[in-house]
Chain A
Amino acid sequence: MFCYLGRIAVLSKRLIACLDVRDGKLAKSVRFVDTRDIGDPVQKAREYYEDGLDELVFYDITASSDRRRIMLDVVEAVAAQVFIPLSVGGGVRSIADATDLRLAGAEKINVNSAAVERPALIAECAEAIGNQNIVLSMDIRAVAASAACPSGYEVVIHGGRKPMGIDALAWALEGERLGAGELVINSIDADGTRAGYALELTRMLSEAVRIPVIASGGAGKPEHLFDALTKGKADAVLVASMVHYGDYRVSQLKTYLHDRGVKMRMSW
């Protein structure tokens, strides 16, 4: 078969499902507002795992703005049923938060708002739990290029509510330097639209850093995943609505990508 990504001995690209959890229930936002509850996160997690998912991300979407601690019990319940890497974020502000989540069963810890407010958090967590386990999650929106934001993309925090006037490219590079092992590139403009990932943004950041990049926000069709992994040069794609509402199955998406020549893990 023609291998679109060319090189042999590359890692498989990953399909990651993101479960936004609010008050212990699965929620899905459209452009970060209008959250609707759509089910039991533990049950969904198990269903995706059995259908070949490569990695799971749990995000407590209320934690950051409400300063609440994550639902450790949800993480624990999922970790007992799902035997693939589990990544958790939302309101992680300290090594203690990260350690608690790791003990509950999270492999990787996502930091977002708190790292923007206090960048040393990335270095502290990397030291405590290893670079490869620290994921810097970035919420980004397009802005007019300016002296403060020369890339034309700005970092936004607190669930998309607070623009920071920080350049997204500069922050990605700083996050890598501080010890982040992966980047999640979440486009607020694309989030929930199902119109496709922000390809230009994803490609710009993928080409700028040496750590793996996960494209997030906007997936609606299988082609969008293919585009993010090829044109966008992402190492992984994150999906939510596409699978949560039953429009697509995890295995169906992986098979589609595999059939188009993307290296995917196909036995599960």
Chain B
Amino acid sequence: MTVIIDYDAGNLRSVQRACAEVGLAASITNDAHTVAHADRIIFPGVGAAGSAMKSLKAAGLDVALKHAIGAGTPVLGICLGLQISLDHSEEGDTVTLGLIEGRVVRFRLDDPTLKIPHMGWNEVRVLKPHPLLRKVVPGDEFYFVHGYYPNPRQRSDVYAETDYERAFASALGRDNYFATQFHPEKSGRVGLELLGCFATWDGSPC
């Protein structure tokens, strides 16, 4: 069973609908036991890191998610789901899950005409191949909405970059965990294709 983790971090039905469109039946759950034993996990989220971590911990979902990742379950993080997989977020000075070493920091842009949050369509440049990015070609754009960005410590964890004044990591992953800063569920065909790849991903990064 594929589950979408529900931790009061925004509207999850858009993710569920997009999964349905690519033939992936996913149920929304906040039950730690269900998450720990799922075949496939989507870890979405919008909103603030601090309250998200609080909700996750209160439901025991942090432990369940780590258990599942340790057991090799394919996991896809989206947006805030990506951000709280690092060690720390500047947003509310929050200690996060620490699945991947690094920090999440606020955009500090020199160009006063560039807006924060970074909201809209932007190109995702694949740096190294990954099964979930196999249909992404140069020029493909995805939909972003975020005011903070991930800054993973190890370059080897970064699979794709996007420019917003400077380049930032827009997709990262390690082993059976993969995450995007953009929203595949709102990114039209290219986003659905990524979800379609996730639907059959065995959790191996290559």
- Interface residues, chain A, with chain B CB atoms under 8 Å away: 7-12, 14, 49, 52, 54, 79-80, 83-85, 102-103, 105, 107, 130-132, 181, 210-212, 235, 265-268
A132 touches B14 (CB 8 A): no
Q: Which of B36-44, B92-100, B183-191 contacts A (4 or more CB under 8 A)?
A: B183-191
- Contact of B192 with A by CB under 8 A: yes
Report the minimum CB–CB distance from A115 to chain B (whole Å): 20
**B residues within 8 A CB of A132?**
117, 119, 145
**Chain A residues near B53 (CB-CB < 8 A):** none
Tell whether B141 is near chain A: CB-to-CB under 8 Å. Answer: yes
A49 to chain B: which residues have CB within 8 Å?
188
Chain A's closest residue to B145 (CB) is: A132
Q: Does B165 contact A (CB under 8 A)?
A: yes
Given A84-B143, A85-B143, A9:B164 Cβ within 8 A: yes
Please determine whether B192 and A9 come into contact, CB atoms closer than 8 angstroms: no
- Report Cα–Cα, A83/B187, bound state, in Å: 6
Asked if A80 and B17 make an inter-chain contact with CB atoms under 8 angstroms apart, the answer reads: yes
The 14 listed contacts between A and B (C-beta, < 8 Å) are: A8-B163, A9-B164, A11-B118, A11-B119, A52-B188, A83-B185, A83-B186, A83-B191, A84-B188, A85-B186, A103-B11, A105-B11, A130-B47, A132-B117
Q: Is the CB of A9 within 8 A of B163?
A: yes
A268 is contacted by which of B13, B47, B120, B188 (Cβ under 8 Å)?
Answer: B188
Report B25-83 residues with CB < 8 Å from chain A CB.
Answer: 46-47
**Contact in complex: B188, A105 (CB < 8 Å):** no
Which B residues lie at the A interface, using CB under 8 A?
11, 13-14, 17-18, 20-21, 46-47, 111-112, 114-115, 117-122, 137, 139-141, 143, 145, 163-166, 185-192
> Closest CB-CB distance, A130 to chain B, in whole Å?
7
Known A-B contacts: A83-B17, A84-B143. Give 18 more (CB < 8 A): A7-B111, A9-B164, A10-B114, A14-B121, A54-B121, A80-B17, A80-B20, A85-B143, A103-B13, A105-B13, A130-B46, A131-B117, A181-B117, A210-B115, A265-B141, A266-B139, A267-B139, A267-B141
A49 CA to B21 CA in the complex, in Å? 14
How many whole Å from A83's CB to the nearest CB in chain B? 5
B14 touches A79 (CB 8 A): yes
User: Using Cβ atoms and an 8 Å threshold, which residues of chain B touch A212?
Assistant: 115, 119-120
Given contacts A83-B187, A132-B145, A267-B139, contact A181 B119 (CB under 8 A): yes
Q: Are B21 and A83 in contact (CB under 8 A)?
A: yes
> Across the two chains, which residue of chain A brings its CB closest to B111?
A7
B46, B117, B137, B192: the one contacting A83 at CB < 8 Å is B192
Are A84 and B186 touching (Cβ within 8 A)?
Answer: yes
A266 to B122, CA, bound (A): 11
B140 near A267 (CB under 8 angstroms)? yes
A267 contacts B11, C-beta separation under 8 Å: no
> Would B141 and A12 count as touching, CB distance under 8 A?
yes
How many angstroms between the C-alpha atoms of A84 and B185 in the bound complex? 8
Of chain A, the residue at the smallest CB distance from B185 is A83
